Structure formats: C-alpha cells, structure tokens
Amino acid sequence: MRWNGESVSPPRLLVADRAPMVAAALAALLRSHGYDVAAQSHDGAETAALLGNGGIDAAIIDIDLPGPGPQALLDGLRARGNPLPIVITAPSAYHDLLADIIDGGADGVVLKSENPDNLMHCLAAVTAGGQWIDRHAVVCALDRAQTANAAGSLTRRERDVAALVIAGQRNRSIGAALGISEGTVKMHLHNVYAKLGLETRTQLATDERVRVLA
C-alpha cells in the first residue's frame, strides 16, 4: 500500500471518544484521508487495554474520556518508556484542562471547534516525531501561566490582606489584625487589584488564584 506517495503502510490509529457516534465519525474522516483506524474505544479502561496490546502508531483521545482520563493514560505510557504519540481532542472552553494536558506532555492538541484539517496537520507532525499544538490551546496555557505569575507576584503583606478580605473582614479590622493603618490596608488592596486585574472586593473574595495563595 502507498502512503504519501511511498510504498509503506499508513499509520495505524486508535480513536478514543466517550461518544460512539463521534468516534465513528472521526474514524470515517481519518479513513477518508488514508489512515488505518485499527481500533475505537469509549472509556479509559478499554483505551488502556488497546494501548497495551501494541500495534498502534498514534492515538487520538477525547479529553473528556471517562476514567482513567487522557492524562493518566499518557502518564502510564511514559512511565513504561512508551513514546507513542498521543493527540488530545478538546472543546476550546476547557482552558485549565488544555493547559494541564500541554504541560503533561501531549504530543498534539486539536480543538473540536476548529477546521478538521488541523487534525490532519497534527497527525502528520506527531507521526513524524514532532509536536503540534493548536494555537488557541497554546494561548490558554500561556494565559494560565501569566495568571499564576500575577498571583505569585503578590507580596507577603498583600497576601495577608487578601486572605483577610476572603475571610470577610473589613479594612479597619484587617488593619487591627495586621498592626497597620486602614490607609495602608487600602494601599495594599489597590496593589492586589492592579496585579490581578480586579476591580472590586467581591471579585477578590471569589478569586481562586488568591484562595490558593492565601
């Protein structure tokens, strides 16, 4: 059989998506582009078993695959020294999960909302030993890194003030608790708002970045 003009077999793929209809449609698309879809699965356990059987050149895994999820599957492969290319498909709204999966070592990330050609570009890259991450997914990862850096840039006193705001205390009681004036509390709050891109006390009180650091 010829693949990309050469007398070699096309890459054998595993398609794993929790929705059988989606998996079937994706398999049909891949076959129309000459790929050999060797197997389909719809949960993490089945996917892990198929990956363990070998005979697969790359796997396309839904980020919502019920447990074990794609990161656990990826970690398991790498722990065994298996470099099998893993491509993750995901909705664009999954900002944190996209950042996690990129940090976790996925070879490819393709957004379901984008052009199907992106998946073909991704597969061409990863089956050749490269990496292909959708640019919107990269933006998600960078945004989260910048957010974390902003929260991490708070001084110890700014964190103390933020923690007491989260606890529901007013400026006067915060000042008394920390041994500083009410005006100094306001100054620290101004700095916190500026660093985190916030405008109100309510936003600060519900901001998960500060809850983690406080």
Structural fold of domain 12-145? Rossmann fold (3.40.50)
Q: Worst-scoring range by mean pLDDT, 45-54, 136-145, 155-164, 175-184?
A: 136-145
Whether residue 137 has pLDDT greater than 90: no
pLDDT band at 168, cuts 50/70/90?
Answer: confident
Higher pLDDT, 3 or 170: 170
Which residues are bridge partners to 29 per DSSP? Answer: none
Per-residue buried b or exposed e for 28-48, using 16+ beta carbons within 10 Å of the residue's own CB:
eebeeeebebbbbbbebeebb
Q: List, for residues 182-205, the tens digit of each pLDDT value.
A: 989 999 998 888 888 888 888 887
CA–CA distance from 41 to each of 23, 101, 104, 141 (Å)? 8, 20, 22, 28
Higher pLDDT, 48 or 197: 48
Structural fold of domain 153-213? Arc Repressor Mutant, subunit A (1.10.10)
User: What number is the average pLDDT over the span 127-154?
Assistant: 75
Element (H, E) at 80: none
Task: Note the pLDDT of residue 49.
Answer: 96
Higher pLDDT, 17 or 163: 17
What are the residue ranges spanned by the domains of the chain?
12-145, 153-213
User: What number is the average pLDDT over the span 89-100?
Assistant: 80
Q: List, for residues 10-30, the tens digit of each pLDDT value.
A: 999 999 999 999 999 999 999
pLDDT band at 206, cuts 50/70/90?
Answer: confident
Report the mean per-residue pLDDT for the chain.
Answer: 87
pLDDT band at 124, cuts 50/70/90?
Answer: very high
Burial class of residue 110 (count of CB atoms within 10 Å of its CB; 0-12, 13-18, 19+): buried
Task: Note the pLDDT of residue 1.
Answer: 46
Whether residue 60 has pLDDT greater than 70: yes
Contact 74, 106 (CB under 8 A): yes
Task: Note the pLDDT of residue 129.
Answer: 92
Beta strands in 18-153 (DSSP E): 36-41, 58-62, 86-90, 108-111, 132-133
Looking at residue 42, what DSSP letter applies? S
The CA distance from 74 to 166, in Å, is: 37
